[in-house]
Amino acid sequence: MSAVQYIVEGGHTLHGTIRPAGNKNAALPIVAAALLTDQPVQLLNVPRIRDVEVLVELMRTTGASCEWVGQNELHVHAREVRAEQLDTALCARIRASILLAAPLLARCGTVTLAPPGGDVIGRRRLDTHFHVLQALGATYELGDRFRFDARTLQGADVFLDEPSVTATENALMAAVAAQGRTILRNAASEPHVQDLAHFLNAMGAHIEGIGSNVYTIEGGRPLGGARHTIGPDHIEVGSFIGLAAVTRSTLRIEQAGVAHLRSTLMGFERLGIRCQIDGDDLIVPAEQERRIQSDLGGHVPKLEDQPWPAFPADVMSIAIVTATQCDGMILMHEKMFESRLYFTDKLVGMGARIVLCDPHRAIVSGPTRLRGGTVESPDIRAGMAMLLAALCAEGTSTINNARQIERGYERLEQRLGALGARIRRVELSAL
């Protein structure tokens, strides 16, 4: 596969309307959950991004039919599936490969998976997946591959040792197939987890407590086909708020899913960026205070991520770039992943005033005038943050390893280009 780089000309004001794509982190478990039924499933507003494409390839290796109908509609029909060893290379390309554990275990009674891949943003433990599936009646073996077995899954009262999003999703899929009642406590409740639960209910499951951290599932009900539209990606909305802020542009983000944006909007307000709500649209005005709001008594404020419904971890990289263009000083505390803040050295090279205190904390002092440069995209969210930095910087920037960004964002050069951004996508021949 050839490498991709973005050539970005910074310093241009943007304008217009943009619509967020379907939620990447909802699409992945929902596509996997289509394996739970032998009936046809129609999925709409599916983001056509690399991670989803890889998962679709993996699904096909199980014998499921997966066909794209138009740009963002995917039809899945898992009439018969097999759970033989899945392609190691494909599993290693995405973390979402672990989401096949529960549905294949439910359909086949066994599944063997290679360790999943994904962003390198620190250790991302899988222990909770194993503990939850074990509590529901599965056994597992560890080694170069993970093997799960379960003749039958049984409902149980389960307390997750951490509110892991993907472990909660695996637990929900296993619980709807299990016999009897399951209660999941300390579960994740992000918008994408809620979307999966709504999809499972549309298939015939019975899940209560959606949106809370305690789910009650009446398992063992027959699951049929469904037609489901994936909700908007609130992380992409946060990226577009940051885009408007750093380029000093007025943008309308339509069908933004404002019901899920409270913590995101509060976080940007701390940076002096305020948005207007118009129905389900969000308007980011060009005229902003852009002054970081001090804590009471004039103390240096802190913006920190936490499990939902607090400020999302995946928006932290965007918020850091935004803070470089705001007046004042702020401590950014990334609690979730210990390697996510290392990308800030690239911003420092562009002229940002950032002190990386430790793997979890960085002090940002702004505003600073950024300069174009050659940088690398280390992961999806940091890559998008570097793109925002390049768009507001003076001069031209080159972003290498841009395929990382495309794992989570669809057709960026076209969609942002329609707003006036100058981004050229270049495919480099493989050596």
Task: Tell me the one-letter amino acid at 8.
Answer: V
Distance in angstroms (rounded) separating the CA atoms of residues 95 and 126: 10
Model confidence at 431, pLDDT cuts 50, 70, 90, reads very low
Structure confidence at residue 91 (pLDDT): 83
Q: What are the distances in angstroms from CA 76 to CA 68, 113, 225, 287, 381? A: 9, 21, 9, 46, 29
Tally Cβ neighbours within 10 Å of residue 311.
Answer: 24
The domains spanning 3-21+232-428 and 24-229 adopt the same CATH topology: yes
List the domain boundaries for the chain.
3-21+232-428, 24-229
Structure confidence at residue 1 (pLDDT): 67
The model's pTM: 0.93
Q: Which fold has domain 3-21+232-428?
A: UDP-n-acetylglucosamine1-carboxyvinyl-transferase; Chain (3.65.10)
Model confidence at 84, pLDDT cuts 50, 70, 90, reads confident
- Confirm whether 195 is a catalytic residue: no
CA angle 325–408–193, rounded 5-degree value: 105
Is a pLDDT exceeding 90 seen at residue 302? yes
DSSP H or E run through 182: strand 180-185
Note the pLDDT tens digit of each residue in 375-409.
998 889 999 999 999 999 999 999 999 999 999 99
For the chain, percent of residues with pLDDT exceeding 90: 85
Distance in angstroms (rounded) separating the CA atoms of residues 1 and 229: 31
Question: Average of pLDDT values for 305-327?
Answer: 96
Is a pLDDT exceeding 90 seen at residue 364? yes
Note the pLDDT tens digit of each residue in 9-66.
999 999 999 999 999 999 999 999 999 999 999 999 999 999 999 999 999 999 999 9
CA-based nearest residue to 399, from 10, 1, 122, 13:
10
Q: Which fold has domain 24-229?
A: UDP-n-acetylglucosamine1-carboxyvinyl-transferase; Chain (3.65.10)
Is a pLDDT exceeding 50 seen at residue 120? no
Tally Cβ neighbours within 10 Å of residue 3.
Answer: 14
H-only helix segments in 206-261 = 234-246
Distance in angstroms (rounded) separating the CA atoms of residues 364 and 340: 15
Note the pLDDT tens digit of each residue in 164-212.
999 999 999 999 999 999 999 999 999 999 999 999 999 999 999 999 9
Note the pLDDT tens digit of each residue in 326-354.
999 999 999 887 778 999 999 999 999 99
CB neighbour list of residue 213: distance below 8 Å, 6 or more residues apart: 163, 185, 186, 187, 188, 189
Question: Average of pLDDT values for 416-425?
Answer: 98
Catalytic choice (51, 119, 233, 314): 119
Is a pLDDT exceeding 50 seen at residue 122? no
Model confidence at 233, pLDDT cuts 50, 70, 90, reads very high
Structure confidence at residue 89 (pLDDT): 83
Model confidence at 119, pLDDT cuts 50, 70, 90, reads very low
Tell me the longest C-alpha to C-alpha distance in the chain: 64
Note the pLDDT tens digit of each residue in 234-284.
999 999 999 999 999 999 999 999 999 999 999 999 999 999 999 999 999
